[in-house]
Structure 1
Amino acid sequence: MNGASRAALAAASERLDALTDSTSVDASKLAEELTAVTALLHREVSLRRVLTDPARSGEAKAELAGGLLNGQVGGETADLITGMVRSRWSQPRDLVDSVEELAAVAELTAAQRSGGLDDVEDELFRFGRIVESSTGLRAALTDQAATATAKTGLLTSLLGGRANPSTERLVVRLVSQPRGRSLEAGLQTLSRLAAARRERMVAVVTSAVPLTEGQKQRLGAALARLYGHPMHLNLDVDPAVLGGISVRVGDEVVNGTVAERLDEAARRLAG
């Protein structure tokens, strides 16, 4: 991608992170809907040209995209896409590639939330090695005469119940929508995105009321010192915690909520 498209993708990635900061957003559903938009833009050449036409205003393009997507996808997906078409793109294909990348990142975010991101990264790597070593499997998965249903069935028989659900969804989408790329190149891209996501440590922070900017900065800095790594905060508000905050990083939980302290006091009294 050239400069304009790289900047547009970076801005869209920030908006995706902002969306998925909320644990109320279904990241896997977001990935599914972004995949559907990718297929639409790939199929409709004239549409992607219109949506990236520098002669049209960003608002006009956003209005067109919003009208097409209204009722077809959720509000988060529609907002993300309308924001993307307001940006300037070097060429129409870059918009499609970027929507597809955000779909993969959203799926990886879903895996990260469930604690399965390391498994997904490992499974993508191992599946890539299997494809490289099995000419028969590669031929079956890349056969242009075979239907997407047949390829999906083959992948389900290979991965279903044996791999993380996010791995299966990522590979199925790649095989059913290759968009002119080799299977190996697609798997390498997914592995790169998974590795980048894994290196980005995430703390899930639950508080009774929204944290101020100052509180978020201080908490982020403290966690970065504690874990020796830059920390991204996923913030969630739950009045049930009453006060204080709960922080989860991977499998570690630091619970400093009033509700937890009351529960602990009750357990001690009962004992």
Structure 2
Amino acid sequence: MNGASRDALGAAREQLDALTDNTAVDPARLGGELAAVTALLHREGTLRRALSDPSKSGEAKAGLLRQLLGTQVGDDALDLLAGLVRARWSQPRDLVDAAEELADTADLIAAQRRGVLDDVEDELFRFGRILSGNSELRSALANQVADGTAKAGLLHSLLGGRADPVTERLVTRLVTAPRGRSLESGIDALSRLAAARRNRMVAEVTSATPLSDQQKRRLGAALARIYGRQVHLNLDVDPEVLGGLRVRIGDEVINGSIADRLDEAARRLAG
């Protein structure tokens, strides 16, 4: 997003944080309601355009939203959504993207409250790795003509009882309503949202052999110096790395051996 949409999303994030600071608010329920409205806005183009029309006043759009939703969602979700439609958006899709991000973030807040955000983050990463290594599963879940209920059932057979309910909800929403995204990009976006809950960045680390605790601490400290913030390590092993180390953070990639090239990479990036 850029321009007006970026500012509107920033304000919406702050509103969600302020709302969920109240322990009386159920973030899991909130996430489900926001996700349902996201699906509605994605499906109904006329409504989407009407609620993001810059020629209409914010109050008029909020009034239309309240009239349409009535008591179908709770007051908390309705207030958040009213704030979204009052804002200015560079394009109608940005409004839907923002509603979806708020839904996913609300679920992650629910995980954070229960102290399982790290687990959800790791499960999202592992599921992404499973997808990348299983073309048959990826094809089944990405099949655009397959029934959404059947895909949700397949996911439940894979994740039910093995992953946190938040992980299953997030992945199921992504698979049944990808909104033009690949599964890989959707999982990556969810991982970034999870990391943002702790003001952390995510580093995907691939090494030839499992890293020792000392190596993980050294790597985490070096990356923290480079980026000025805590970095969460998602670890993977690939013998083809041939004794070296590959670290990807966003679009940046660091290649080097664990012992004698990491510090050099850190100095280069810092400079």
Indicate the TM-score class for this superposition, using the shorter chain for normalisation: 0.7 to 0.9
Q: By how many angstroms is 1:8 displaced?
A: 0.3
The answer to which structure, 1 or 2, has the higher relative contact order (CA under 8 A, 6+ apart) is 1
What is residue 240 of structure 1 aligned with on the other side?
A: none
2:133 corresponds to 1:152: no
* CA shift digits 1:40-87 (9 cap, x unpaired): 000000111111111101110010011111111000000110111111
Q: Is the 8 A contact 1:117 1:198 kept in 2?
A: no
Within 5 Å, give how 1:167-246 maps onto structure 2: 167-199=167-199
* d(CA) in 1 for partners of 2:115, 2:24: 17
Alpha-carbon distance in 2 for matches of 1:29, 1:104:
11
Question: Residue in 2 aligned with 1:123?
Answer: 123
Alignment partner, residue 207 of structure 1: none
Equivalent position amino acid for 1:69 in 2: L
CA offsets per residue over residues 88-145 of structure 1, 9 Å max, x none? 0000000000000000100000000001000000000010010001000000101112
Structure 2 letter corresponding to 1:59? E
Match of 2:78 in 1: 78
Task: Provide the TM-score with structure 1 as the length reference.
Answer: 0.73
Q: Which runs of 5+ in 2 are unaligned?
A: 201-228, 231-271
Aligned partners of 1:64, 1:125: CA distance in 2, in Å?
39
Q: Mind listing any 5+ residue stretches in structure 1 that lack a counterpart?
A: 201-228, 231-271
Amino-acid identity (%): 67
1:106 equivalent to 2:118? Answer no
Q: Which amino acid is 1:199 matched to?
A: N
Mapped partners of 2:146, 2:48: distance in 1: 27
> TM-score normalised to the size of structure 2?
0.73
Residue equivalent to 1:135? 135
In structure 2, C-alpha distance between the alignment counterparts of 1:29 and 1:111, rounded to whole Å: 12
**What SS does structure 1 have at the residue aligned with 2:197?**
helix
Shift of 1:198: 2.7
The CA distance in 1 between the partners of 2:153 and 2:89, in whole Å, is 36
The code of the aligned residue for 1:156 comes to H
Matched, 1:7 2:7: yes
Amino acid in structure 1 at the alignment position of 2:84: M
Output the CA distance in 2 between the equivalents of 1:90 and 1:14: 19
Q: Secondary structure at the match of 1:198?
A: coil
Offset at 1:199? 3.1
